[in-house]
Amino acid sequence: MTVPSLRPAAPSLAPFPDSDYPEHPYPGARPDCSFVHLGRTGYPLRPDSTAPSGWRVGTGTAGEPCLNTWLAERGSDPLGARYPVLAYGSNVCPEKITWLRSRLGLTGPAVVLRAECTGVAAAWSAGHRPRDGQRPAVLMAAPGVVEQHAVWFATAEQRRVLDQCEGRGNRYRLVRLNDDAARIRLDDGTEPGPVLAYTAATAGMTPLLVDGRPVRCTELDQHGAVNLAGTPAAADGLSCTEITGEP
Protein backbone atom coordinates (compact mmCIF):
# COMPACT_ATOMS: atom_id res chain seq x y z
CA MET A 1 0.00 0.00 0.00
CA THR A 2 1.27 3.43 -0.90
CA VAL A 3 0.96 5.99 1.83
CA PRO A 4 0.14 9.40 0.38
CA SER A 5 2.56 12.13 1.27
CA LEU A 6 1.20 14.83 3.53
CA ARG A 7 1.89 18.45 2.78
CA PRO A 8 2.48 20.57 5.85
CA ALA A 9 -0.30 23.05 6.40
CA ALA A 10 0.52 26.60 5.37
CA PRO A 11 1.23 28.68 8.45
CA SER A 12 -1.73 30.81 9.43
CA LEU A 13 -1.28 34.54 9.24
CA ALA A 14 -1.39 35.99 12.73
CA PRO A 15 -3.38 39.10 13.66
CA PHE A 16 -1.35 42.06 14.93
CA PRO A 17 -2.06 44.89 17.40
CA ASP A 18 -1.92 48.59 16.58
CA SER A 19 1.12 48.92 18.83
CA ASP A 20 3.19 47.07 16.22
CA TYR A 21 2.59 49.98 13.81
CA PRO A 22 2.70 53.33 15.64
CA GLU A 23 1.28 56.48 14.06
CA HIS A 24 4.12 58.86 14.95
CA PRO A 25 6.13 60.17 13.27
CA TYR A 26 3.95 60.76 10.19
CA PRO A 27 3.11 58.82 8.04
CA GLY A 28 3.42 56.06 10.64
CA ALA A 29 4.43 52.45 10.17
CA ARG A 30 2.56 50.23 7.73
CA PRO A 31 2.26 46.42 7.56
CA ASP A 32 4.04 44.62 4.75
CA CYS A 33 0.77 42.97 3.73
CA SER A 34 -2.87 43.62 2.88
CA PHE A 35 -5.10 43.62 5.96
CA VAL A 36 -8.53 44.27 7.41
CA HIS A 37 -8.65 46.35 10.60
CA LEU A 38 -11.14 46.22 13.45
CA GLY A 39 -10.95 46.79 17.21
CA ARG A 40 -7.30 47.93 17.40
CA THR A 41 -6.29 44.76 15.54
CA GLY A 42 -5.17 44.09 11.99
CA TYR A 43 -5.92 40.77 10.30
CA PRO A 44 -3.59 39.93 7.39
CA LEU A 45 -5.23 39.13 4.07
CA ARG A 46 -3.85 36.78 1.47
CA PRO A 47 -5.03 36.39 -2.12
CA ASP A 48 -6.96 33.21 -2.90
CA SER A 49 -8.81 32.82 -6.19
CA THR A 50 -11.00 30.08 -4.68
CA ALA A 51 -12.56 32.54 -2.22
CA PRO A 52 -15.58 34.47 -3.59
CA SER A 53 -13.97 37.77 -2.53
CA GLY A 54 -10.55 36.71 -3.82
CA TRP A 55 -9.10 37.09 -0.31
CA ARG A 56 -8.82 35.11 2.90
CA VAL A 57 -8.50 36.51 6.42
CA GLY A 58 -5.63 35.41 8.64
CA THR A 59 -7.35 34.88 11.98
CA GLY A 60 -4.42 33.06 13.61
CA THR A 61 -6.55 29.94 14.03
CA ALA A 62 -7.31 26.93 11.87
CA GLY A 63 -9.11 27.93 8.71
CA GLU A 64 -9.00 31.25 6.93
CA PRO A 65 -12.49 32.56 6.07
CA CYS A 66 -13.30 34.37 2.86
CA LEU A 67 -13.09 38.11 3.44
CA ASN A 68 -16.71 38.62 2.38
CA THR A 69 -17.88 35.99 4.86
CA TRP A 70 -15.82 37.59 7.62
CA LEU A 71 -17.27 41.01 6.79
CA ALA A 72 -20.86 39.71 6.64
CA GLU A 73 -20.49 38.13 10.09
CA ARG A 74 -19.72 41.62 11.37
CA GLY A 75 -22.61 43.26 9.57
CA SER A 76 -20.39 45.03 7.05
CA ASP A 77 -20.50 45.53 3.28
CA PRO A 78 -18.71 43.02 0.99
CA LEU A 79 -15.63 44.02 -0.95
CA GLY A 80 -17.50 44.66 -4.20
CA ALA A 81 -19.84 47.20 -2.56
CA ARG A 82 -17.01 49.44 -1.36
CA TYR A 83 -15.24 52.44 -2.89
CA PRO A 84 -11.55 51.96 -3.84
CA VAL A 85 -9.61 54.92 -2.41
CA LEU A 86 -5.86 55.26 -2.89
CA ALA A 87 -4.03 55.53 0.45
CA TYR A 88 -0.50 56.87 0.16
CA GLY A 89 0.10 58.51 3.54
CA SER A 90 -0.89 57.83 7.14
CA ASN A 91 -4.17 56.08 6.33
CA VAL A 92 -2.21 52.85 5.76
CA CYS A 93 -1.07 52.91 9.42
CA PRO A 94 -3.21 50.74 11.76
CA GLU A 95 -2.79 53.09 14.73
CA LYS A 96 -3.99 56.00 12.54
CA ILE A 97 -7.07 53.96 11.61
CA THR A 98 -7.85 53.64 15.31
CA TRP A 99 -7.44 57.42 15.61
CA LEU A 100 -10.08 57.76 12.88
CA ARG A 101 -12.36 55.58 15.00
CA SER A 102 -11.82 57.45 18.27
CA ARG A 103 -11.76 61.01 16.90
CA LEU A 104 -13.93 60.97 13.78
CA GLY A 105 -16.33 58.09 14.44
CA LEU A 106 -15.09 55.59 11.85
CA THR A 107 -17.02 52.33 12.25
CA GLY A 108 -16.77 48.80 10.91
CA PRO A 109 -13.93 46.83 9.36
CA ALA A 110 -11.47 48.85 7.28
CA VAL A 111 -10.18 46.88 4.29
CA VAL A 112 -6.69 48.00 3.20
CA LEU A 113 -5.18 46.17 0.21
CA ARG A 114 -1.53 46.70 -0.61
CA ALA A 115 -0.92 48.02 -4.11
CA GLU A 116 1.91 48.64 -6.53
CA CYS A 117 1.41 52.09 -8.03
CA THR A 118 3.07 53.14 -11.27
CA GLY A 119 3.02 56.70 -12.56
CA VAL A 120 2.21 58.49 -9.30
CA ALA A 121 4.19 59.16 -6.15
CA ALA A 122 3.78 60.48 -2.62
CA ALA A 123 5.66 63.76 -2.16
CA TRP A 124 6.05 66.05 0.81
CA SER A 125 3.42 68.78 0.75
CA ALA A 126 4.11 72.49 1.02
CA GLY A 127 1.63 72.62 3.92
CA HIS A 128 1.61 71.20 7.44
CA ARG A 129 -0.92 69.00 9.22
CA PRO A 130 -3.15 71.23 11.43
CA ARG A 131 -3.42 68.87 14.39
CA ASP A 132 0.28 68.38 15.07
CA GLY A 133 2.33 70.48 12.64
CA GLN A 134 3.86 67.51 10.83
CA ARG A 135 4.34 67.72 7.06
CA PRO A 136 1.84 65.47 5.23
CA ALA A 137 2.12 63.67 1.93
CA VAL A 138 0.42 64.72 -1.27
CA LEU A 139 0.02 62.83 -4.52
CA MET A 140 1.82 63.89 -7.70
CA ALA A 141 2.32 62.58 -11.21
CA ALA A 142 5.56 60.62 -11.54
CA PRO A 143 5.91 58.94 -14.96
CA GLY A 144 7.84 55.69 -14.75
CA VAL A 145 8.05 55.70 -10.94
CA VAL A 146 6.84 52.64 -9.00
CA GLU A 147 5.88 52.88 -5.33
CA GLN A 148 4.15 50.62 -2.82
CA HIS A 149 1.00 52.09 -1.33
CA ALA A 150 -2.49 50.73 -0.62
CA VAL A 151 -6.12 50.96 -1.64
CA TRP A 152 -8.77 51.37 1.04
CA PHE A 153 -11.98 49.62 0.08
CA ALA A 154 -14.23 51.96 2.05
CA THR A 155 -17.94 51.82 2.76
CA ALA A 156 -19.91 54.99 1.98
CA GLU A 157 -19.81 55.96 5.66
CA GLN A 158 -16.07 55.31 5.90
CA ARG A 159 -15.41 57.41 2.80
CA ARG A 160 -17.27 60.33 4.36
CA VAL A 161 -15.03 59.98 7.43
CA LEU A 162 -12.02 60.18 5.12
CA ASP A 163 -13.51 63.41 3.73
CA GLN A 164 -13.39 64.88 7.25
CA CYS A 165 -9.90 63.60 7.91
CA GLU A 166 -8.48 64.99 4.68
CA GLY A 167 -10.28 68.33 4.92
CA ARG A 168 -12.07 67.78 1.63
CA GLY A 169 -12.73 71.09 -0.13
CA ASN A 170 -10.18 72.89 2.00
CA ARG A 171 -6.83 71.10 2.11
CA TYR A 172 -7.54 68.18 -0.22
CA ARG A 173 -10.05 67.47 -2.97
CA LEU A 174 -11.60 64.12 -3.87
CA VAL A 175 -10.80 63.05 -7.43
CA ARG A 176 -11.11 60.06 -9.69
CA LEU A 177 -7.76 59.20 -11.24
CA ASN A 178 -8.04 58.96 -15.02
CA ASP A 179 -6.93 55.77 -16.73
CA ASP A 180 -3.76 57.45 -18.01
CA ALA A 181 -2.80 58.79 -14.58
CA ALA A 182 -1.62 55.65 -12.85
CA ARG A 183 -1.52 51.89 -12.98
CA ILE A 184 -2.54 50.38 -9.66
CA ARG A 185 -2.11 46.64 -9.12
CA LEU A 186 -3.22 44.88 -5.94
CA ASP A 187 -1.41 42.00 -4.21
CA ASP A 188 -3.60 39.49 -6.07
CA GLY A 189 -2.51 40.89 -9.44
CA THR A 190 -5.84 42.55 -10.21
CA GLU A 191 -6.29 46.19 -11.09
CA PRO A 192 -9.31 47.84 -9.46
CA GLY A 193 -11.66 49.99 -11.52
CA PRO A 194 -11.39 53.78 -11.42
CA VAL A 195 -9.72 54.65 -8.11
CA LEU A 196 -10.54 57.66 -5.94
CA ALA A 197 -7.80 59.72 -4.33
CA TYR A 198 -7.37 62.81 -2.18
CA THR A 199 -5.14 65.36 -3.90
CA ALA A 200 -4.09 68.94 -3.18
CA ALA A 201 -7.01 71.39 -3.17
CA THR A 202 -4.96 74.58 -2.82
CA ALA A 203 -1.55 75.84 -3.85
CA GLY A 204 -0.44 75.65 -0.24
CA MET A 205 -0.92 71.86 -0.25
CA THR A 206 0.78 71.02 -3.57
CA PRO A 207 4.18 69.31 -3.53
CA LEU A 208 6.93 71.35 -1.92
CA LEU A 209 9.68 72.28 -4.37
CA VAL A 210 13.19 72.37 -2.93
CA ASP A 211 15.77 73.70 -5.38
CA GLY A 212 13.07 73.44 -8.03
CA ARG A 213 12.11 69.80 -7.53
CA PRO A 214 9.62 67.89 -5.38
CA VAL A 215 10.88 65.65 -2.58
CA ARG A 216 9.36 62.18 -2.58
CA CYS A 217 8.48 60.69 0.79
CA THR A 218 10.75 57.73 0.01
CA GLU A 219 13.72 60.11 -0.17
CA LEU A 220 13.41 61.75 3.25
CA ASP A 221 11.64 60.92 6.51
CA GLN A 222 9.41 63.23 8.59
CA HIS A 223 12.28 64.39 10.78
CA GLY A 224 14.07 65.70 7.72
CA ALA A 225 10.99 66.88 5.87
CA VAL A 226 9.17 68.90 8.52
CA ASN A 227 11.58 71.85 8.42
CA LEU A 228 12.29 71.87 4.69
CA ALA A 229 12.24 75.27 3.02
CA GLY A 230 10.94 75.73 -0.47
CA THR A 231 7.99 76.87 -2.57
CA PRO A 232 4.68 75.20 -3.46
CA ALA A 233 4.51 73.64 -6.90
CA ALA A 234 2.06 75.29 -9.29
CA ALA A 235 0.29 71.94 -9.82
CA ASP A 236 0.60 68.22 -9.08
CA GLY A 237 0.54 67.15 -12.74
CA LEU A 238 -2.15 64.51 -12.19
CA SER A 239 -4.66 63.50 -14.82
CA CYS A 240 -7.84 63.33 -12.78
CA THR A 241 -11.45 64.46 -12.48
CA GLU A 242 -12.63 66.24 -9.34
CA ILE A 243 -15.77 64.80 -7.77
CA THR A 244 -18.59 67.00 -6.57
CA GLY A 245 -20.82 65.44 -3.93
CA GLU A 246 -20.92 61.66 -3.62
CA PRO A 247 -18.84 59.54 -6.03
Query: Cβ neighbours of residue 184 under 8 Å, at least 6 residues apart?
Result: 86, 115, 116, 117, 118, 151, 177, 191, 192, 195
Query: Cβ neighbours of residue 216 under 8 Å, at least 6 residues apart?
Result: 121, 122, 123, 124, 142, 145, 147
Convert 28-46 to b/e letters by CB count within 10 Å (16 or more is b).
Answer: bbbbebbbbbbeeebbbbb
What pLDDT shows up at residue 12?
53
Give backbone dihedrals phi and psi of 149, rounded to 5 degrees, phi first: -135, -145
What pLDDT shows up at residue 179?
83
Q: In whole angstroms, what is the distance from residue 139 CA to residue 124 CA?
A: 9
Question: How do residues 55-99 score in pLDDT, each as one tens digit?
Answer: 999 998 888 999 999 999 999 999 999 999 999 999 999 999 999
> Is pLDDT above 70 for 124?
yes
What pLDDT shows up at residue 227?
94
What pLDDT shows up at residue 191?
96
Confidence of residue 142 (pLDDT cuts 50, 70, 90): very high
Rounded average pLDDT over 165-194 = 94
**% the chain with pLDDT above 70:** 95
Size (the chain), residues: 247
Question: Residue 110 gets which letter from DSSP?
Answer: E
> Is pLDDT above 70 for 247?
yes
What domains does the chain contain, in order, with CATH numbers?
16-242 (3.10.490.10)
N-term to C-term CA, the chain: 63
pLDDT, mean over the chain:
93
Question: How do residues 211-224 score in pLDDT, each as one tens digit?
Answer: 999 999 999 999 99
Global pTM value: 0.93
What pLDDT shows up at residue 8?
37
Q: What percentage of the chain's residues is helix, strand, coil (to nearest 5)?
A: 20, 35, 50
Which is nearest to 200 in space by CA: 115, 122, 130, 144?
122
